[in-house]
Amino acid sequence: MILSIDVGKGTEDVLIIDPNAEGPIENAIQLVIPSTAQLLTNRLQTASGDWFFKGYIMGGEPWNRLVYEHADANRVVMTADAAMSLRYDPDQVTSHGIEIAELPPESVTIFHTRDINFNRIEAMLHGSDIAIEEIEYVLLACQDHGRPDDRKRSTRDFRMKTIYNQLDQRGRLEDLLLRSDHIPSYLPRHQAIASSVLDQFDHLNSDQVFVMDSSPAVIAGAVTTGRQIIINAGNGHTLVMFLNDGIVETVYETHTGGVTQEKILKNIKLLLKNELSHEQSLQQGGHGVYARIIHGEYELDDYLPILVIGPNRSLFKNGELFTYVHPMGNMMMAGPLGLVRSFQELNL
């Protein structure tokens, strides 16, 4: 059995498949539940007094803002790992009045930081008559901006130049799926989520747990053949990827906040003319551009329709230019499906 989980800002999307089962993959177990980050946000909104956070590195949005605000008038203490959920640089965390310590003070409310609440996963497995030991592989997706050695370097710039560097030679999305013991140190959130699985599922080894960035995982779940542009309009980031028969040509990424159909279409046209550089994208507030192929010989018509997926796809009007896609009949399963596809491609 394969357990595939895409951890997002708003939801945690789960797919459990038996590769040897008969019937279509649509019959596999599928679940879309609130993310642990969203649940932590809900708890913090009603919590008072002093706080202590411990656990693994996890996604810091949207709960980070509540922690900063609370620290203005209350004591907030975090372990070193939990603090990296907010910022990888501890000085940036303590600058908000937050203390870093490994033991909780007296009379505090304790919160656990983790990208996956395994109690929910275990309950789902148990309710489906699946023993934990039947899970042979765990495939995970989450976003990691990366931790540059130079603290002054933009993490947006660093992300674009590190997450996608595995595409340089072949341009295959599956090359972005990393075995847990091959995750580089500059991706600490990816390391943390893999460690959390290995700590929870003691029957698994490092070669049975894989991690991929969420944005390309969703693309891997939606990609088909031919020339195409796919937009993943996520809750936090919007990713635009140019592909040719599944091989990546260009990647453009920005924050979903402020995204409009007109802005993205304008930048797509600029990318096709090779007139939007990585640096120009950063200046716009985006994450940047990763280009394997220098465009110029193709027109927008060569890529139409532009495929759109993600929880914020309504930013793009479904019609002549943009077409919504539904992998497995459920667009929220694109991430978990992309993980499975990438894993299967690597093991052919």
- The predicted-structure confidence for 107-151, as pLDDT tens digits, reads as follows 999 999 999 999 999 999 999 999 999 999 999 999 998 888 887
Reported pTM: 0.93
Whether 348 has a pLDDT exceeding 70, the answer reads no
Whether 2 has a pLDDT exceeding 90, the answer reads yes
| Domain extents in the chain | 38-112, 224-346
Torsion angle (degrees, nearest 10) of CA 116, 183, 191, 81: -150
Do the beta carbons of residue 284 and residue 340 sit within 8 Å?
Answer: no
Residue 288's SS3 state is strand
Q: What is the Rg, in whole angstroms, of the alpha carbon atoms belonging to the chain?
A: 20
Query: What sections of 188-330 are H helices per DSSP?
Result: 188-200, 214-222, 261-272, 278-283
Average pLDDT over residues 195-216: 95
Return the CATH architecture of domain 224-346: 2-Layer Sandwich (3.30)
Do the beta carbons of residue 304 and residue 321 sit within 8 Å?
Answer: yes
Residue 175 to residue 203: CA distance in whole angstroms:
26
The amino acid present at 258, given as its one-letter code, is G
Whether 168 has a pLDDT exceeding 80, the answer reads no
